[in-house]
Structure 1
Amino acid sequence: ADQNGPLADPAAPPPNPGVLTVLPAADTTAPSVPQNLRVTDWGTDFIALAWDASTDDTGVYAYDLYRSEGGAAVKVARVLAPATTYTDTAVTSGTTYTYTLQALDSFFNFSADSAPVSQTAEAKMVQVTFRVRVPDYTPGTVYLAGDLPGLPQWDPGATAMTQVSDNPDIWEYTLTLPDGTQAMYKYTRGSWDTVEQWRSISGLANRSLTVAYGADGTQLVDDTATDWGNGPDEHKAVQYWRDPLVVSVAPADGAIGVDAATAITVTWSVTMSAGTTFDVADRWGTPVSGTFTVTSDAHSVVFIPDTPLTVGETYQVSVSGQTSAGGDVQQVPALWAFQVGWRAILPLIFR
């Protein structure tokens, strides 16, 4: 077509052509270069970016985002102002991308490129530290068991924790896990017979966590609180182990000058069955006969000899294979000795 209307032969030169006049833009000043282009989040299927807003004498119209994979950069988005964020979802897991940004105004004046930023489309990894408090009578090593990626699955004796030097009741273990991982776990002393068992953390019920990258890619799983019964159990300290443990004895191991009429007491970590006993013998292995009584709270067992113990004799007490009120069997034997009467008669000997 020309100024006379449609042409009969579109291929022929127009007899009365028009004139197109292009006027220079009133504004020739480009916006400022975008600053602080940065990656704010990422995963295997996205990379999120943000930047500080540019300035311009007539106003910023948009931002053009360019991406390269090691070669020439290609524009992947035009983000209209005032937005200063963009999430790139057209990514391939494991690929590293480099981004730059230009600002433009409504007169199509373009800024110079921003400083580049690079990021690989991959799962964020988090350094997760498990920290647990255990009862002060806990023997041996504490282990972490669960379905945590990278560890033997639900093996109660595979992943030993480290005892904190300035607090022997605290144990820790650190590993790296993908952000967003959901897992279950428990603490053990090397077997399922010596696993933690208390309140809701019992039987098939486990502790749980969701891994979160947070501000710096570290996460503390703090299982040290001792306010049992106040809130959920899953991030409290271990209150009890499954197997009954001897937590204190009287007379104490190595005691001397013990009264010949003494009773012998064993205190347990959990309530015990009515038939709980232990063995008492002199240095020659001769058994001491007597009567056993379980205290009203079922945590202590008291042995009263039928006759007074022999002054000057050393007695050995051994406790093994006993069963708790819940039917769990003692896994850690207890053995100790004490001596009767010498403390009282030594001053007479040396007179």
Structure 2
Amino acid sequence: MTLPAWDWRLSDLAGIPHHGKTVFSCFSCGGGSTMGYKLAGYRVLGNVEIDPQMMKIYRKNHNPSHPFLMPIQEFKSIPDADLPPELFNLDILDGSPPCSVFSTAGAREDKWGGEYAFREGQAVQQLDDLFFEFLEVAEKLQPRVIVAENVKGMLIGKARGFVSLVLYRLREIGYRPQLFLLNSATMGVPQKRERLFFAASRNDLKFPRLKLEFNEPPILYGEVRQGRGKPINPESRTFQRWHRKRPPDLNMGDVTEREEGKVSNFNTILLKDQKVANTLASSSVFLRDDVPEHISDTDAIHIQTFPSDYDFMDADVQYVCGMSVPPIMMHRIAEQIHLQWLDPK
């Protein structure tokens, strides 16, 4: 029996034919993008990651040739002579600069210019500078193609000025950038995840305009649902609200607005079998609509299209998945970049 594309194993990568194109990944987290590139036949040379726990997990699952556990600022300052020569002959430099300051949740403009650490054990950084640090790495390595992923919120309100600066900087370092707002639900991923992708080709290569158009049928939560989830604490307000929900309610914010006169807990999502799952974020709460329990870890793995044999070690499954690009989403993009740009024959 042929398994659906979202149901796969890391061991399947051994059967993927390689075409020889190379990738280096920045802000790699658990390697969602890395797995997407590998599914599309690329050789991922290594990664830069600031989080010790995420690097440990990345090394366990991907065995990179050139791992760099350090902030991107330190990596860009490594003398050229001390870097592996193959990094200066890259096909793709990939990166997902941390994007929480551009999220549409909360008073995001208040966070701009501030310094934060995502979690304990990470260095404090000014997050809205990281995209430009990434572009300095691109200027240093001069890959044929740059691919960067970020949140849809970069296209909303004042953040559009930040996007303009990114596009200007890409042109300044010798690249022709394009912007794509893509929804993973149209790309074989059982999740409504809208993300902004920058794809830029080096000026001297004269590549045509890239076309990224996807129209795969939606995959409903009921098709990927599996196993039992952790029960909702019967002593909690969430449990009480869950029992007061109505069929049209999509999240606990709908319940609190109706029952308590205010909107709260809108990040506590009610997943229905007949609908596509919402964006799986590292901090969101997903509850099953028909039974008072959280989704299972297996659900999170399926929703994010992580492989079933991925070793999360001591990390929270939803955190690793939620911080990553869905592998199948990146697979679709990487495949088209190869077909249209890197090997158009």
Same fold (TM over 0.5): no
Question: Going by fraction, where is strand more abundant, 1 or 2?
Answer: 1
TM-score, normalised to structure 1, is 0.21
